[in-house]
Structure 1
Amino acid sequence: MYLNNHTYYSLRYGTFSEEDLLQMAVQNGYESLAITDINNTSVTLNFFRLAKKYNIKPIAGIDFRNGAEPMYVGIAHNNSAYLELNNFLSHHLHHRIPFPETAPDISDVSFIFSFETVLKQEKSIFRPNERIGVDLKDLKKISFNHLIRRPELWVLCLSNTFRNKTDFNIHRLLRAVDNNTLLSKLDPLEQASPNEIMLPKQQLLDRVKDFPFLIQNTQDLIDSCETSFSFNAEHQNKKKFTESKAKDIQLLRHLCLENLPKRYPVVTPEIQQRLEKELKTIEEMDFVSFFLVNWDIISYAQRKNYFYVGRGSGANSIVAYLLRITDVDPIELNLYFERFMNVYRTSPPDFDIDFSWRDREDVTNYIFDRYGKNGEVSLIATYSTYRHSAAMRELGKVFGLPKHEIDILSDGKYDPTQLESYAKLVHQYGRLIHDFPNLRSVHASGILISEKPIHYFSATDLPPKGFPTTHFDMIIAEDAGLYKYDILGQRGLGKIKEATEIIKYNQPEKTLPDIHDTKPMFTDEKVNHMIKKGNCIGCFYVESPAMRMLIRKLEVDNYLLLVAASSIIRPGVAQSGMMREYIMRHKYPEKRKDAHPTLYEIMPETYGVMVYQEDVIKVAHQFADLSLGEADVLRRGMSGKFRSRNEMHLVQQKFFNNCLKKGYPEQLVKDVWRQIESFAGYAFAKGHSASYAVESYQSLFLKCYYPLEYMVAVINNGGGYYTRELYFHEARMNGGILHAPCINKSFSQTVIYKKDIYLGFNLLNNIDENSMELIETERNENGEFTSFQDFVNRVPLGIEQMDILIRINAFRFTQIPKRNLLWQVYSLQPKNKKTQATKELFPPPERNFDMPNLTSNPLEDVFDQIELLGFALSDPFSLTAEKVPDGLLAKDLPFNLNKTVSIYGYLVTAKYTKTHKKEVMHFGTFLDRAGHWIDTVHFPMVAKKYPFQGKGIYKLTGKVTEEFGFYTLQIYKMRKLAFMKDQRFV
Structure 2
Amino acid sequence: MYLNVHSYFSLRYGTLSPEQLVHRAQALGIDCLALTDINTVSGVFEFVRLCRAAGIKPVVGVEVRNLGELLYVCLARSTDGFAEINRFLSDHLLTGRAFPLRAPQFQNAVVIYPLMRLDHLESLQAGEYVGVRASQVTQLWRYQKKLGTGQTVVLQPVTYADGIGFNLHKLLRCIAHNCLGSRLTEYETIATDEYLISPQQLMAAFSDRSQLLENSGKLLASCSFDFDFGAPKNRKLYTRSPADDTALLRKLAFDALPQRYGVRNLEAQRRVERELKIIEELDFTAYFLITWDIVQYAHSRGYFHVGRGSGANSIVAYCIGITDVDPIRLDLYFERFINPHRSSPPDFDLDFSWTDRDELTDYIFKKWGREHVCLMATYVTFRDRAAWRELGKVFGLPKAEIDALVLDPTNALNNPHSRLIARYAPLLEEFPNYLSVHAGGILISELPLYHYTALTMPPKGFALCQWDMYVAEEIGFAKWDILSQRGLGHIKEAVDLVRQNRQIHLDIHRIQDFVGDERIRRQLQQNETMGCFYIESPAMQQLIAKLRCADYPTLVAASSIIRPGVASSGMMDEYIRRHYNPASYVPLHPKMQELMADTYGVMIYQEDVIKVAHHFAGLTLAEADVLRRAMSGKYRSKGEFARIQEKFFTSCRERGYGEALITEVWRQIQSFGGYSFSKAHSASFAVESYQSLYLKTYFPIEFMCAVLNNFGGFYRTEFYVHEARRWGARIEAPDILQSEYNARVEGKTIWLGFVLLKGLEKKMVQQLLQQRSQQPFTDLEDFCKRVPAGLEQLIILIRAGVFRSFGLSKKELLWHAHALVNAYAQHEGVPELFELSETSWNLPSLWQDPLEDAYDEIELLGFSLCSPFELLAQPGGGSTARHLVEQVGRIVTLMGYLVTTKPLLAKNGQRMAFGYFVDREGRYFNTTHFPGSLARYPLRGGGIYQLEGKAVAEFGVVSLEVHRLERLPFKPDPRGGLGLYRYVG
Per mean C-alpha deviation after superposition, the further-off stretch among 405-414 and 926-935 is: 405-414
1:871 aligns with 2:863: yes
Q: Which residue of 2 aligns with 1:70?
A: 70
Q: Which residue of 2 aligns with 1:761?
A: 754
Shift of 1:836: 4.7
When the two structures are aligned, how many residues end up with a matched partner?
977
Shift of 1:668: 1.3
Shift of 1:852: 3.5
Where do residues 706-721 of structure 1 align in structure 2 (5 Å cutoff)? 706-721=699-714
Shift of 1:78: 1.1
Task: Name the CA distance, whole Å, in 2 between partners of 1:272 and 1:739.
Answer: 54
Q: Which residue of 2 aligns with 1:550?
A: 543
Task: Name the CA distance, whole Å, in 2 between partners of 1:963 and 1:805.
Answer: 49
Shift of 1:148: 7.0
Task: Name the CA distance, whole Å, in 2 between partners of 1:246 and 1:499.
Answer: 42
Is 1:712–1:750's contact at 8 Å kept on the other side of the alignment? Answer: yes
Shift of 1:589: 2.5
Match of 1:317 among 314, 318, 324: 314
Taking a change above 3 Å as real, the CA distance of residues 961 and 286 of structure 1, as seen in their structure-2 partners, is: same
SS at match of 2:472: helix
Q: Which residue of 1 aligns with 2:361?
A: 364
Write the letter of the residue equivalent to 1:798: G
1:387 aligns with 2:380: no
1:786 aligns with 2:778: yes
Shift of 1:830: 4.5
SS at match of 1:497: helix
Write the letter of the residue equivalent to 1:245: P
Write the letter of the residue equivalent to 2:353: S
SS at match of 2:921: coil
Shift of 1:788: 1.6
1:412 aligns with 2:408: yes
Write the letter of the residue equivalent to 2:441: G
Taking a change above 3 Å as real, the CA distance of residues 388 and 599 of structure 1, as seen in their structure-2 partners, is: closer
Shift of 1:833: 3.2
Taking a change above 3 Å as real, the CA distance of residues 867 and 151 of structure 1, as seen in their structure-2 partners, is: same
Where do residues 486-501 of structure 1 align in structure 2 (5 Å cutoff)? 486-501=481-496
Task: Name the CA distance, whole Å, in 1 between partners of 2:325 and 2:671.
Answer: 27
1:599 aligns with 2:595: no
Taking a change above 3 Å as real, the CA distance of residues 831 and 51 of structure 1, as seen in their structure-2 partners, is: farther
Task: Name the CA distance, whole Å, in 1 between partners of 2:409 and 2:12.
Answer: 27
Q: Which residue of 1 aligns with 2:24?
A: 24
Task: Name the CA distance, whole Å, in 1 between partners of 2:642 and 2:396.
Answer: 43
Unmatched 5+ stretches in structure 1:
none
Q: Which residue of 2 aligns with 1:823?
A: 815
Where do residues 35-50 of structure 1 align in structure 2 (5 Å cutoff)? 35-50=35-50
Task: Name the CA distance, whole Å, in 1 between partners of 2:904 and 2:600.
Answer: 29
SS at match of 1:848: coil
Q: Which residue of 2 aligns with 1:354?
A: 351
Q: Which residue of 2 aligns with 1:805?
A: 797
Task: Name the CA distance, whole Å, in 2 between partners of 1:585 and 1:688.
Answer: 23
1:285 aligns with 2:282: yes
Write the letter of the residue equivalent to 1:954: Y
Write the letter of the residue equivalent to 1:154: T
Task: Name the CA distance, whole Å, in 2 between partners of 1:669 and 1:680.
Answer: 18
Shift of 1:413: 5.0
Is 1:595–1:607's contact at 8 Å kept on the other side of the alignment? Answer: no
Is 1:151–1:213's contact at 8 Å kept on the other side of the alignment? Answer: no
Shift of 1:388: 4.6
Q: Which residue of 1 aligns with 2:840?
A: 848
Write the letter of the residue equivalent to 1:844: L
Where do residues 248-259 of structure 1 align in structure 2 (5 Å cutoff)? 248-259=245-256
Where do residues 838-917 of structure 1 align in structure 2 (5 Å cutoff)? 838-840=830-832, 842-885=834-877, 887-917=878-908
Task: Name the CA distance, whole Å, in 2 between partners of 1:518 and 1:149.
Answer: 75
Shift of 1:625: 1.6
Is 2:897–2:944's contact at 8 Å kept on the other side of the alignment? Answer: yes
Q: Which residue of 2 aligns with 1:476?
A: 471
Shift of 1:150: 2.7
Write the letter of the residue equivalent to 1:215: L
1:679 aligns with 2:672: yes
Shift of 1:839: 3.6
Task: Name the CA distance, whole Å, in 1 between partners of 2:557 and 2:442.
Answer: 30
SS at match of 1:309: strand
Unmatched 5+ stretches in structure 2:
978-985
Is 2:937–2:965's contact at 8 Å kept on the other side of the alignment? Answer: yes
Q: Which residue of 2 aligns with 1:565?
A: 558
Q: Which residue of 2 aligns with 1:82?
A: 82
1:331 aligns with 2:328: yes
Match of 1:126 among 119, 124, 127: 124
1:270 aligns with 2:267: yes
Deviations 1:102-134 (A, max 9, x none): 111212221111112224x3x232221111100
Task: Name the CA distance, whole Å, in 2 between partners of 1:149 and 1:710.
Answer: 76
Task: Name the CA distance, whole Å, in 2 between partners of 1:182 and 1:215.
Answer: 40
Write the letter of the residue equivalent to 1:242: T
Q: Which residue of 2 aligns with 1:953?
A: 944
Task: Name the CA distance, whole Å, in 2 between partners of 1:778 and 1:518.
Answer: 44
Shift of 1:853: 3.6
Task: Name the CA distance, whole Å, in 2 between partners of 1:838 and 1:709.
Answer: 37
Task: Name the CA distance, whole Å, in 2 between partners of 1:641 and 1:364.
Answer: 24
Task: Name the CA distance, whole Å, in 1 between partners of 2:194 and 2:675.
Answer: 43
SS at match of 1:843: coil
Is 1:388–1:430's contact at 8 Å kept on the other side of the alignment? Answer: no
Shift of 1:826: 1.1
Shift of 1:791: 1.4
Q: Which residue of 1 aligns with 2:983?
A: none
Give aligned-pair identity as a percent.
Answer: 46
Match of 1:436 among 431, 439, 448: 431
Q: TM-score, normalised by structure 1?
A: 0.97
Deviations 1:902-955 (A, max 9, x none): 110000000010122221110000001111112001111111221111110001
Task: Name the CA distance, whole Å, in 2 between partners of 1:786 and 1:548.
Answer: 48
Match of 1:215 among 199, 209, 213: 213
SS at match of 1:550: helix
Deviations 1:571-624 (A, max 9, x none): 111111111111111112332444532211111111111111111111111111
Deviations 1:829-854 (A, max 9, x none): 15563575334454332211122343
Q: Which residue of 2 aligns with 1:182?
A: 180
Task: Name the CA distance, whole Å, in 1 between partners of 2:442 and 2:755.
Answer: 33
Q: Which residue of 2 aligns with 1:158?
A: 156
Shift of 1:239: 0.7
Q: TM-score, normalised by structure 2?
A: 0.98
Task: Name the CA distance, whole Å, in 2 between partners of 1:38 and 1:304.
Answer: 43
1:688 aligns with 2:688: no
SS at match of 2:850: coil
